[in-house]
Structure 1
Amino acid sequence: MALQGPLRGIALKLASVVVFMTMATLIKLVADRVPAGEVVFFRSAFAMPVILVWLAATRSLGAGLRTDSYIGHLWRGLAGTTAMVFSFAGYGLLPLPEVTAIGYAAPILTVVFAAMFLGEEVRAFRILTVALGLLGVLVILSPRLTAMEAEGLGAREALGAVVVLTGAVFAALAQVFIRKLVASETTSAIVFYFSMNAAILSLVTLPFGWVWPDAVTAAILIACGLLGGIGQILLTSAYRSADASVVAPFDYASMLLALAIGYVGFGEVPTPAVIGGAALVILAGILIIWRERQLGLERARQRRSMTP
């Protein structure tokens, strides 16, 4: 029997988590020999055929290509492409679970940026959850930042922490631009134009030393793009099938996968700081999602009470 409603949304979300973590694993395999900007190009360019086929199959091709705000898509593309460059560079500098944990800062920072740039109201509960999340990020980063003045591996990992956190900052900015785009643009257009713009914008990094990949590396890079496209489709479908408050918490299943893949595939043992800090960030993220759901239910009740 086919899954319906929330169960379908949860299943699609978990499938997207598995696909994106597989993509992250492949990126980590080539991160030490392929520049991050080049990885972004393959990730975006080879996602586009998958997305176009999906749009055609769902009869959304016209909506996916139509836009009233290309400048808005461009700003989102700039922020999102920059986020990917920094995040992908981090895979070559830090263990997989640590990159994943620091990346969880993006939804926390989105709350801050939405208040700063979109004028969204931030109540005491949100302030406390954001503070909790940022505390978790500091716990994760503290061992790396104290090694900033060291040499060798310590300095490399300290740089990695700063690089990945920078990626999270730009990912949060990209979410702010998406919040502005959804007022006038379809989901199909947002998905398509991001991949197109990211592929084009990543070419700016050409002067920074792209390499000609061998057959195996090229296959891995192409697979990253195909998986990225499939993951985006699964993610979009998940949010169409169930409320965001139901689906979003399952994003944190990626931490379990990152721990398992990091340990089995790369021999990475997470530190207590990573585990403890990730737990605080995840808790903060879930509390924000829960609070958004409560506010949404409250607004819905108010609308019903005002209906004659």
Structure 2
Amino acid sequence: MLPIQGRQAWGVRAVAIPVLAVLAAHVVLYQRFPGQAGYQFPWPATGLIAAITLACWETNLAAYRYLDRRLPFQRRPVRRLGWQALLGSAATAVTFGVIFLLFTYWRSGSWPAAADFGLGLLIAFTLSALINAGYVGLYLLGALAAQRRATATELAARRAERQARPAPAPAAPAMAAARPAPAGLLIECGSQVQQLAFDDIAYFYSAGGLVRLVRADGGSLTTSYDSLAALTDRLPAGQFFQINRQYLVNLRAVRTVQDDVNRKLRLTLTPGPLAGQPTETVLISRYRSAEFRRWLQGAA
């Protein structure tokens, strides 16, 4: 989902596009400034650059919306940034080429020179890079805000669960038989409840306020939970570990553990969360890596 939409997004365009057009027209094309001899405001160049900027902006946003549906920023930020830059560059090149060629031919009756076309393309890519950088910054700010909200929600849920937890019952007489530990988990999925064995659960991952369960056989389902905190206390601690804010994994799903930069750990989980994706790679921060190693050694 785009970080700014509606009236706010159009307000940003109304301010940013004229400013960028005026700067590019003076610095790159006209190369004269107010106060210099013979200066006249470059209306044609400014109008052309403003039209190209608006068109490039809209085509870049169309690419971002497509990626929001296919590759959300929260799931794979690095891959998302690469595809965002690639699609944005392609959209910018096509948009600029069509507008610049048609405008030049309409105004002069001939196609632009190669040098003029190359200079215009450089301006278009520069403006596209600025637009892309602005939206990347907004996506990152949104991700940080979402993490803070998730942390606050998780802490509140744990606090409420502790407060609502009944006092421990008195110990049963020695003659009474101990109740066997549960071998599975009841999962709420909408209006239904499913019973799954712990060994059939590969991991849970949280994204966009939803918690999905990935089964060991590769299937997945969306649960009714909105955070991993609601599941942590219902799972055996020796078999499940929350490696970060998004993943709560079963020991059986961990295939490889590798050291990463800055004392982080890189885990390979199986199966992947998407159909046809055999594995999933996730990172454990340096603050959780030591605890994860202790848990891994204790569970081994």
Please tell me the TM-score bracket, short chain as reference: under 0.3
**TM-score for both structures, normalised by structure 1:** 0.26
| Bigger strand share | 2
**TM-score for both structures, normalised by structure 2:** 0.26
| Bigger helix share | 1
Q: Relative contact order: is structure 1 or structure 2 higher (C-alpha 8 Å, sep ≥ 6)?
A: 1
